[in-house]
Amino acid sequence: MEQPLVTVETTVNADAATLWNILTQKKSALFMGAEVDTDWRAGSPLTLTGEFNGKSFKDHGEIRDAEPQRHLAFTHFSGSGEQHGNLVDMALEPNGDRTRVSLSQTPLDGERPDGTKVAEFRKNWEVMLGALKNAAEDKTVEVL
């Protein structure tokens, strides 16, 4: 398997069940409020629709693995016409009322972008994990 292009990590002050519930809600904390359409089962399609930097988007992919409270992996293809997709892999490591989250992005076609694009991907994932962390730690957020 190809080496990840980007790897980011954080520790969330919430148990794995709470974090999983936040992660898999229809309105995604991870994807900056995008609407997520999937049943979270391996092999199922994934559609993300929303707005980013003032522009509407509709991205797609497939759930590769979903082990509640432990692991989520999915492919991601941008709706902007990009032919190059990525595998996004998230590991959740529960430790009582805290959960360590590791996320990696790996190109599906082996093509690796330049350092500037990699830095942009890293920054975006750090922001997105931060939003997930904030939502999971916010006691006013409704957990379904």
Q: What is the pLDDT of residues 60-117, one digit of tens each?
A: 999 999 999 999 999 999 876 666 799 999 999 999 899 999 999 999 987 788 999 9
Is residue 7 within 8 A of residue 21, CB to CB? The reply is: no
**Full set of structural domains in the chain with CATH:** 6-137 (3.30.530.20)
Is residue 113 within 8 A of residue 27, CB to CB? The reply is: no
How distant, in Å, are the alpha carbons of 7, 9, 90, 95, 120 from that of 127? 13, 11, 15, 23, 11
Q: What is the pLDDT of residues 117-135, one digit of tens each?
A: 999 999 999 999 999 999 9
User: Model-level pTM?
Assistant: 0.89
